[in-house]
Chain A
Amino acid sequence: MKPDIKWLDDPEKFRIGELPAHSDHKFYQSKAEITNDQSSFVQSLNGDWEFAFSKNPMSRPADFYKADYDSSHFDTIKVPGHIEFAGYDKFHYINTFYPWEGRIYRRPAYSMGPDQTGAGMFSEGEDNRVGSYIKEFTVNPSLAGKQIRVRFEGVEEAMYVWLNGHFLGYAEDSFTPSEFDLTPYLKDSSNKLAVEVFKRSTAAFIEDQDMFRFFGIFRNVSLVAQPETHIEDLSIKPTVDDDFNNGQFSLDAKLTVNDPDATAHITITDADGQQLYHTTQSVAEKLSISDVSIKKVHLWDHDNPYLYQLTIEIAKQDGTLLEVVPYQFGFRRIEISKDKVILLNGKRLIINGVNRHEWDCHSGRAITLADMKADMQTFLANNINAVRTCHYPDQDPWYGMCDTNGIYMMAENNLESHGSWQKLGDVEPSYNVPGSLPQWRAVVLDRAKNNYEMFKNHTSILFWSLGNESYAGDDIEAMNAYYKEVDPTRLVHYEGVVHDRNYEDTISDVESRMYASPDEIKDYLDHNPKKPFLLCEYMHDMGNSLGGMKSYIDLIDQYPMYAGGFIWDFIDQAIEVKDEVTGQKVLRYGGDFDDRVSDYEFSGDGLMFADRTEKPAMQEAKYYYGQHK
Chain B
Amino acid sequence: MANTNKQLQIIYSDGTLGLGGDGFHYIFSYSRGGLESLEINGKQWLYREPKPTFWRATTDNDRGNGFSKKSVQWMGADMFVDATSIDVKVNDQLIGFPGAPTNNKYSNNEYADKVEIIYHYETLTTPSTPVDVSYTITPNGNIDVHAHYTGNAKLPDLPVFGIRFVMPTLASGFEYDGLSGETYPDRMAGGQPGTYHIDGLPVTKYLVPQDCGVHMATNALTVTRKTTKDNSDQSKTPFSLSFEKLDQPFAFSCLPYTAEELENATHIEELPIPRRTVVSILGAVRGVGGIDSWGRDVEAQYHIPAGDDIDFGFTLDVSNR
Binding site for B on A (CB under 8 A): 425, 515, 517, 538-551, 572, 574, 579, 581-582, 584, 586-589, 592, 601-605, 609-610, 615-617, 619-624
Contacts and interface: CB of A to CB of B under 8 A. Distances in A.
B211 interface: yes
B191 interface: yes
Chain B interface SS verdict (over half): loop
B181 A545 contact: no
B1 interface: no
B207 A547 contact: no
Contacts, number: 125
18 contacts: A517-B291, A539-B290, A539-B291, A540-B293, A542-B64, A543-B206, A547-B184, A547-B288, A547-B290, A547-B298, A548-B186, A550-B189, A587-B207, A604-B207, A609-B205, A616-B212, A617-B187, A620-B187
Given A515-B296, A543-B61, A619-B190, A548 B290 contact: yes
Given A542-B61, A545-B293, A547-B184, 10 more contacts: A517-B296, A544-B61, A544-B212, A545-B60, A546-B187, A547-B290, A547-B298, A548-B298, A548-B299, A619-B192
B210 interface: yes
B180 interface: yes
A543 B210 contact: yes
A620 B187 CA distance: 6
B291 A540 contact: yes
Max chain A Cβ within 10 angstroms of own Cβ: one of B191, B208, B268, B291 = B291
Contacts of B210: 543-544
Nearest to A537: B292
Interface in B164-186: 180-186
B187 A549 contact: yes
A463 B48 CA distance: 59
Given A616-B182, A619-B181, A549 B205 contact: no
Contacts of B61: 540, 542-545, 547
Contacts of B239: none
A605 B190 contact: no
B269 A584 contact: yes
B59 A545 contact: yes
B50 interface: no
Given A586-B269, A619-B191, A544 B291 contact: no
B288 A544 contact: yes
B104 to A, nearest CB: 54
A572 B206 CA distance: 10
B189 to A, nearest CB: 5
Nearest to A622: B190
Nearest to B301: A548
B31 interface: no
Nearest to A543: B60
Nearest to B180: A619
Interface in B121-155: none
User: Which of A539, A609, A617 has most chain B Cβ within 10 Å?
Assistant: A617
A278 to B, nearest CB: 50
Contacts of B298: 547-548
Interface string B74-113: 0000000000000000000000000000000000000000
A547 B290 CA distance: 5
Nearest to A588: B267
A544 B211 contact: yes
B138 to A, nearest CB: 37
A541 B290 contact: yes
Contacts of A543: 59-61, 206-208, 210, 293
From A515, A541, A604, residue with most partner B Cβ within 10 Å: A515
Contacts of A609: 205
Contacts of B293: 540, 542-543, 545, 602, 605
Contacts of A545: 59-61, 288-290, 293
